[in-house]
Structure 1
Amino acid sequence: MEPRNDSDTIWPGDLIQEPSLQHVSARARSLPRRPPSRRTWTGRQLVRNVVCSVLLVLLAGKNGVHGTGSATTFNIGVILPFTDPTGMPYESVTTLYDLLATALPVMNSLNASYRFNLVPGNSKNTRSGAVAAMFDLYDRNQTVAFIGESGSGNTGPMVYAESRFGSWHCSGTTSSTAFSEPGEFARFFRTIPDDSQQGVAIARFVRAMGWTKVNLLVSTDSYGSSISISFSDAARALGVKLALSDVYLPGDSDLSTQVTNIANSESNIIIFAVSSSDDAVILLREARRQGLLGPDRVWIGTDTLGEYFTSSVFPSSPTYASDTANVQGAMYFMPLVATGTAAYQTMASAWTALGKTTSADSVPYGGLNYDCLLVLAKGLIQLAIKVGAGNVNTAGLSLVADFLPPPIDGATGSLAFTSTGDRLGDFSVLNIYNGDKRVVFNVFSNGTIATVHPPQFYSGSSTPPVDVPPKSVQYPTWGDSFVVATSVVRALFMLALVGGTVVLTVNRQKSTVKHLSFPFLVLITAGCELVLASGFFEIGEPSRTTCIAPVWTLTIGAQLVLASAGVKTYRVCTLGVDWSWGCKMVDSRCTVGHRVAVENL
């Protein structure tokens, strides 16, 4: 296969030089000449046939169909942000287009009566640019179908404008659930599973890892809200709780508040759905600053993290080493690429034939957009056979009933669609370690999860960290030397009280003991024993009994001591006592403080 065939496609390298597409050669735009006829024409016949030919060409051109001998050619527009608004090229997009061009030989081999041509359009990464590129391609090339753009925000206006022409549209990157609204995008479909499916896949993966409590951080745009809603619903059904659910504004350069909230949460598992890989760089740098990157935490991103090393972090950057370390052990989800299918092998072989040293599946969203072209080609051929090549964009045609082919195996696996053009897709979980990434799990739409390679978390271990860290012991235990020492002192006091009670009991008939009132002394001693004993119930793991017992023993003990001391004090105040060191025949006017002190002793 020739790596470049100007008769089949227009290349984005030229498009970047002249975005208006005026550079396109006559060979690329014009139709092949018809072979000369051997028949002799009369003047009237010649006029009649010229008029008919002109009408046929006009009708065919109006519908983006060009007859090339015995074959009919369909033009397909490829609208991508080849440059930013200032004209700075995106190398990754050019690489993506190179991969898409390898689909042409496969498309042109489907049916000898139909050929396909790719025409690139530069959206300049803006909504207005996407719509302008679409109109430009249609006006110049009468495109019958489109693929692109890279973002949901730029794709929506373009698809709405295309309804004027009845064009068919496929996207391999637009995943917003807004495009799943029934009847709103009648001729739009996609080979990338929508965000709601990704949220469900993440929830299933989290549960399979044994985690039951996680943190969720999403952007405030439609992408983040789609992930948040679908993940939260699926997680609730699977018994996974959210320790934290937080949001941020896309493009915000200060995410310290969000990271602080994560640090204060109960879980060590962080799921983040950022609107761009640039936002992921900012988030992870802040996480590093606050000490949230380590062996005890797991960071799980969505498909946007797949562009981390292709769109945001480059080897020439002075922060490359630290930014690479920030994603050590991180995981992210991407639509599954079934490298074992025949379609993938064909794509990979064609990619290698271009002299590429990287694998075909390393091109972000490459296989998904490649599959877009395959489905568009099969759909247009199916439709042309049914209604005629010149009528593929007429009104009244249905996406499901007329256009979409039966399920086929593409470069990314089985291609089957719902009534709204959503693909029923599977996902892969990729693991980043030492700057390299590899698939570690596949999460299928039927709920099963297959291990492809052992994962490597931040520490290098394949054992998943716990979601909720073990709580530190906040109660006294017998293993604490201070607790043992204070318990020994408390026990000695209790023994001393017991010994004192024995002495009082033996000498209770003596006048000194009688004078101090033996029953009250026993009650005070018992109360002191209960107060000292209450501390022993607080040692060890708390339980229902050990939580209630200290309160009762302390309360009863204190009441016995205070009540007995109070009665004794009252007797001293009212009856009077002869004190050898102070008062003589105390009456009610003597100092009560001295008496209370003596009685308590």
Structure 2
Amino acid sequence: MNAIDPNHSYQPLFQDTGGVRVNAMNVFLNVTSQQTVHALVGECASRVTLGAALATNNRRLWRCGLASSMDIGNKIDFPFFFRPTPNDNQQGAHFAASMSWRAMNVIAVADPYGQSLSATFSTAADQLSVSLYSLQQYLPGTTDFIVNLETILASESKIILFFGLPSDAKLILRRAKAKGMVADRVWVGTHTMYNYLDNSATETDRCLADGMLFSTLRGDHSTPQYQTLRSQHLAQYPSRPESLVSGFALTYYDCLLALANGFNKMTTLYSDAAVQTHSYPATVVDFLVPFNGTTGSLTFLPTGSDVRECQIMTIYNNSARVAHVMTPSGSVDKLADPIFYGDSTAIPVDRPPVAIVFLSVVGY
């Protein structure tokens, strides 16, 4: 950050909120009352970010996070929030259509994240003639998903979209297996499933994800920024796995780079005194600068979201690999065959075959 913006010296203060909204608010109030804070990085979950981001408005503090809810793209309510990732867009329906799936179910957490994804998917599905057989929602903290699963089972659609957190997925998949809804179904998740394998302590839970697909940000690790970070990480932590320099960690790092680029620009435009006192009239469009980060080239929309390709990962045998790439326009390119449950690369049907009975009526 200091290399990008030589006008300032940056000092990150790390605070653990545990992903809980009230903790995030308390941390924000405590830290900003004791320290001179110019920006914040985090949270990850939309349900936590919404309230925390609103609280930063009066103090004119820039906030960069990974929350993907469409609501946070509203620059009237969230004028200082931006993210180095796309928002909850409609690409899931485009991917489903590319697989020739026309009948699907959704099970989603009833929070801003799940509701945003459900709404955008429903809109796109209607445009692409993809039928949504059922939309099941559950409250955060739910542990009993029997009714949701029985409704999905009765629909006969074999494609299930999951919009929630890995901890929820683990409980849902356990109960789905008991109902025979793992081996003969396709589960499709979002970027939150990137950490499912790491967050599952038992081999049984990890095996439940065999055949699952999930979408995530497509990163470009050829940038000098990534190579520098990787080299520094390996030099300082030689015994730690290189896989730590990937996923969500890189997007948070890019948040820091975006802030350094933005503050450097603001100092040039308005002076250091204006930056120090938060007294400059910049919008998020004025603040953000396109740059090469650790995840690739970042270019921001007026909503503060990045424009980026996504990729579809396939989980099998305790690992995840890239199967498809989706462009922002919705086109889908296959890089490898996804592996479904049972070690099959054949694309499953979205509904069981329907027997057609021909009746012959004979008059006497």
Which category describes the TM-score, using the shorter chain as reference length?
A: over 0.9
Unaligned runs of 5+ in 1: 1-106, 315-319, 476-540, 558-601
1:121–1:134 CA contact under 8 A, matched in 2? no
Q: Deviations over 1:250-281 (max 9, x none)?
A: 2221111111122222321111112x211111
Structure that is richer in helix per residue: 1
Question: Displacement of 1:111 after TM fit?
Answer: 4.1
Contact 2:20 2:48 in 1 (8 A): yes
Give CA deviations for 1:83-110 in whole Å, capped at 9, x if unaligned: xxxxxxxxxxxxxxxxxxxxxxxx2222
Q: Structure 1, residues 116-172: CA drift from partner, whole Å, max 9, x if none?
A: 22111232433332223223333333121111123223223332332232211111x
Residue pair 2:69, 2:117 contacting (<8 A) in 1 also: no
- Does residue 228 of structure 1 match 2:93? no
- Distance in structure 1 (CA, Å) of the matches to 2:320 and 2:139: 28
- Count of residue pairs the alignment pairs up: 362
- Per the alignment, residue 95 of structure 1 pairs with none
2:210 matched to 1:328?
A: yes
Q: Which residue of 1 aligns with 2:176?
A: 287
Task: Report 1:124-203 matches (<5 A).
Answer: 124-171=18-65, 173-195=66-88, 197=89, 200-203=90-93
Taking a change above 3 Å as real, the CA distance of residues 453 and 340 of structure 1, as seen in their structure-2 partners, is farther
Q: Distance in 2 between matches of 1:194 and 1:341?
A: 23
2:237 matches 1:365: no
Q: Which residue identity does 2:230 align to in structure 1?
A: A
Query: Which residue pairs with 1:346 in the alignment?
Result: 228
Question: Which residue of 298, 311, 316 maps to 1:433?
Answer: 316
- Per-residue CA deviation, residues 537-595 of structure 1 (Å, 9 max, x unaligned), is xxxx45xxx4xxx2xx43xx3xxxxxxxxxxxxxxxxxxxxxxxxxxxxxxxxxxxxxx
SS at match of 2:125: helix
Q: State the shift of 1:283 in Å.
A: 0.7
Q: Identify the match of residue 399 of structure 1 among 274, 279, 283.
A: 283
Q: Which has the larger radius of gyration?
A: 1
What's the secondary structure of 2:155's corresponding residue? Answer: coil
| CA–CA separation in structure 2 for the residues paired with 1:291 and 1:351 | 44
State the TM-score, normalized to the length of structure 2: 0.92
2:127 counterpart of 1:237 = yes
Greater CA drift, 219-228 or 138-147: 138-147
Q: Distance in 2 between matches of 1:325 and 1:336?
A: 25
For 1:162-187, what per-residue CA distance to the aligned partner results, in whole angstroms no more than 9, with x for missing partners? 2232211111x211222122311111
Equivalent of residue 455 in structure 1, options 338, 348, 354:
338
Give secondary structure in 2 for the equivalent of 1:169.
strand
Distance 2:292 2:301 in 1: 16
What corresponds to 2:8 in structure 1? Answer: 114
Q: Can you list the C-alpha shifts for 1:275-302, whole angstroms capped at 9, x where unaligned?
A: x2111111101110011111x4211112
RMSD: 2.1
Structure 2 partner of 1:53: none
Distance in 1, Cα, partners of 2:285 & 2:181: 52
| Aligned match of 1:376 | 259
Contact 1:299 1:330 in 2 (8 A): yes
Given that 1:337 and 1:361 are in contact with CA atoms closer than 8 Å, whether structure 2 keeps it comes out as no
1:387 corresponds to? 270
How far, CA to CA, are the matches of 2:6 and 2:142 in structure 1? Answer: 53
Partner AA of 2:87 in structure 1: D
Question: Any conservation in 2 of the 1:130–1:158 contact (CA below 8 Å)?
Answer: yes
**Counterparts of 1:150 and 1:447, CA distance in 2:** 25
- 287, 295, 298: which one pairs with 1:415? 298
**Stretches of structure 2 lacking an aligned partner (at least 5 in a row):** none
Please name the residue that 1:481 is paired with: none
d(CA) in 2 for partners of 1:257 and 1:128?
A: 30
1:54-69 to 2 correspondences below 5 Å: none
Q: Classify 1:340/1:189 alpha carbon distance in 2 versus 1 (closer, same or farther; 3 Å).
A: same
- The CA deviation string for residues 513-539 of structure 1, in whole angstroms up to 9 with x for no partner, is xxxxxxxxxxxxxxxxxxxxxxxxxxx
Structure 2 contact 285–302 (Cα < 8 Å) conserved:
no
